[in-house]
Amino acid sequence: MNLESLYQELILDHYKNPLNKGLATNPEISVHHVNPSCGDEIDLNLRTSSDRIDSVTWDGVGCSISQASTSVMSDLVTGKSFHDVSELIDSFTELMQSKGSESGDEALLGDAVAFAGVSKYPARIKCALLGWMAFKDALVQLDHYQGKNS
Ligand code: ZN
């Protein structure tokens, strides 16, 4: 099995068995993001403590890339500091803007490197970024985003 089919398996697995799906009650902040070009929708609830992410829960409909990417993101960021998750958001965004020229830093991005190939397809990039942008929006609104574009 080559790397590309391994990555496709991983994306399908997250799509079929999404992590942290199902909105927690009493969120600190709740955001709703849509990707009209594909019809993807994500609701995301965030809870934080003084310096880190306590929980990210979400619900959504849409293509396998949007749903799987949100699942991977929610797993990656849970328990991490605001600084670290800001770095993750920036790194994943750069990967998605790389037009297929980068494979991603697996030590940092974990399963999210499986979406590297998506950056070759401009129409799908917004699908992969949807959940990440929803999470970033929630962080920005709480004034916890510490990345490059803050
Ligand atoms: Zn999509």
138-149 tens-digit pLDDT: 999 999 999 987
Distance 144 CA to ligand 1 centre (A): 27
φ, ψ (nearest 5 deg) of residue 126: -65, -30
Closest CA to 38 of 61, 69, 14, 5: 61
Residue with tokens 């037009």: 99
- Number of residues that make up the chain: 150
Dmax (CA) of the chain:
44
Percent of the chain with pLDDT over 70: 99
Find the 39 Cα to ligand 1 centroid distance in Å. Answer: 6
Closest among 95, 94, 73 to 139, alpha carbons compared: 73
Give dist(CA 110, CA 76) in Å, integer.
7
pLDDT in tens, 58-99: 999 999 999 999 999 999 999 999 999 999 999 999 999 999
pTM of the model: 0.96
Q: Which residues surround ligand 1, an ion (CB under 5 A)?
A: 38, 40, 63, 66, 127
Ligand 1 centroid distance, CA of 47 (Å): 26
CA of 64 to the centre of ligand 1 (A): 7
Is residue 106 within 8 A of residue 92, CB to CB? The reply is: no
On whether the CB atoms of residues 2 and 23 are closer than 8 A, the answer is no
Give residue 50 CA to ligand 1 midpoint distance, Å.
34
What's the angle, vertex CA 12, arms to CA 133 and CA 134, rounded to 5? 10
